[in-house]
Amino acid sequence: MLIDFFYTLRAAKLPVSVKEYLMLLEALQAGVVGPRSSDGWSLDDFYFLARTTLVKDEKHYDKFDRAFAAYFKGVEMVTDFQKALPEEWLRKLLERELTPEQKAAIEKMDWDTLMETLKKRLEEQKERHEGGNKWIGTGGTSPFGHGGYNPQGVRIGGPGRNRSAVKVWEQRAYRDYDDTQELGTRNIKMAMRRLRKFARQGGELELDLPDTIRSTAANAGWLDIKLVPERHNNVKVLLLMDVGGTMDDHIQRVEELFSAAKSEFKHLEFYYFHNCVYDFMWKNNQRRFSEKFDTWDIIRKYNKDYKLIFVGDATMSPYEILQSGGSVEYHNEEPGAEWLQRLTHAFPHHAWINPEPQGVWQYRQSIEIIRQLMGGRMYPLTLKGLEETMRLLSK
């Protein structure tokens, strides 16, 4: 069984060797994972042991999790009858499909009223609620909870459904973009060639040793030095990428862009943010709250000759951009708009690449706000859009 598991990990492009696989077997034989019962070890214990022995870099954790889930799907439910029923089986019981008329009748609170009402609900509510329109619960039309419908509320626990929450009350985990992702479609490949062209502009020269030897020999031994453009040049790029939430729909295309940028730019610095930039960013999504990078420090660290590129769908509540405390994850002291203006002022060469189809931009209020803050420098993640972005940044 574990041989097939090993090949599943290899098929997922995880750098797992036979030596590491044998180490896993030795650990099992040595009883590192204690048996839960006469049936053997638990799946959770095996997961942590396998990840520890087989995965040597935490950037591969997400690939490992997906491969592990794909291989062992359903195993735990079959072997452990004490497990609770999966949430997916019960979700439909908690969802209410409302008619357009019912949705239009639901009250949409402004920011201050929403926060004040939530405070009162937390003080008053003493029990779980389901399907209502007032209390914190599930499957209803209340602005507080999850699994129901409200045009503008606070999601508390559970998965997002309508993407209309102005604040999210839960600990959310994002994964880093994979910088080894191979380029996919032909159009994306063509677009990445524009990045190569951009990267070579103003490049220095380096010695072409084979051609120098050949030319010197042909020149009767007189030294004839040949130079070629350096593969990477001194173009500096600061890449800020939105991650999590609605950006999950665009992971593959952003990874393609990220992979190409890392291969083409000698001086590339990158950071992550969620929805809008605030007072801190991060480089590792698993440690985003323990290893923060102050945005002011980032502005001071890099010179204004860096090309600043934002990558994000700019799809969020307008409060997240314009309101203090508007972040869905924590209380930001200053609006996101303030930080965007500081960044674009510090780096005159800047642009925003949006993976969301350009046809829907006009229907998203937040996209229009971001586009105005960027001085109109927002381009779609398409061949033409990347060409226009590179042309703008190279001026």
Q: Is residue 23 domain-resident?
A: yes
297 and 270 in a single domain? The answer is yes
Q: Which residues contact 206 (CB under 8 A, 6 or more apart)?
A: 227, 228, 229, 230, 231
Residue 170 lies in a domain: no
Domain that holds residue 224: 202-232
Same domain, 228 and 351: no
pTM over 0.75: no
Does 173 map to a domain? no
**Is 178 contained in some domain?**
no
Residue 343, in any domain of the structure: yes
**240 and 386 assigned to the same domain:** yes
Together in a domain, 214 and 317: no
Name the domain boundary from 31, 62, 79.
79
> Quick one: 327 and 273 in the same domain?
yes
Per-residue confidence (pLDDT) for residue 161, from 0 to 100: 52
pLDDT for the residue 78: 35
Is residue 153 situated within a structural domain?
Answer: no
- Structurally, the chain folds into a number of domains equal to 3
Bridge partners (DSSP) of residue 241 are 272, 311
CA neighbours closer than 13 Å in the CB half-sphere of residue 380: 10
Same domain, 209 and 279: no
My answer on whether 249 and 373 are in the same domain is yes
Could you tell me if 216 and 299 lie in one domain?
no
Structure confidence by residue, pLDDT tens digits, 18-39? 888 888 888 888 888 765 544 5
184 domain residue, yes or no:
no
Q: Which two tokens stand for residue 190?
A: 């063509």
Q: Residues of the chain whose pLDDT is less than 70? A: 1, 34-41, 73-205, 229-234
> What is the C-alpha end-to-end distance of the chain, expressed in Å?
58
- The pLDDT tens digits for 76-134 are 433 333 344 444 444 444 444 455 655 555 556 565 666 666 566 656 655 554 545 54
Indicate if 226 and 332 belong to the same structural domain. Answer: no
- H/E run at residue 186: helix 186-200
79, 94, 126 - which closes a domain: 79
| Residue 45 lies inside a defined structural domain of this protein | yes
Please count the other Cβ atoms lying within 10 Å of the Cβ belonging to residue 16.
24
Expressed in percent and rounded to 5, the helix, strand and coil fractions of the chain are: 45, 15, 40
| Both tokens assigned to 11 | 């098929």
Residue (of 271, 273, 360) closest to 312 by Cα position: 273
Q: Domain boundary at 79, 97, 128, which?
A: 79
Q: Taking every pair of C-alpha atoms in the chain, what is the biggest distance, in angstroms?
A: 95
Distance CA(277)–CA(291), nearest Å, equals 16
pLDDT at 31: 81
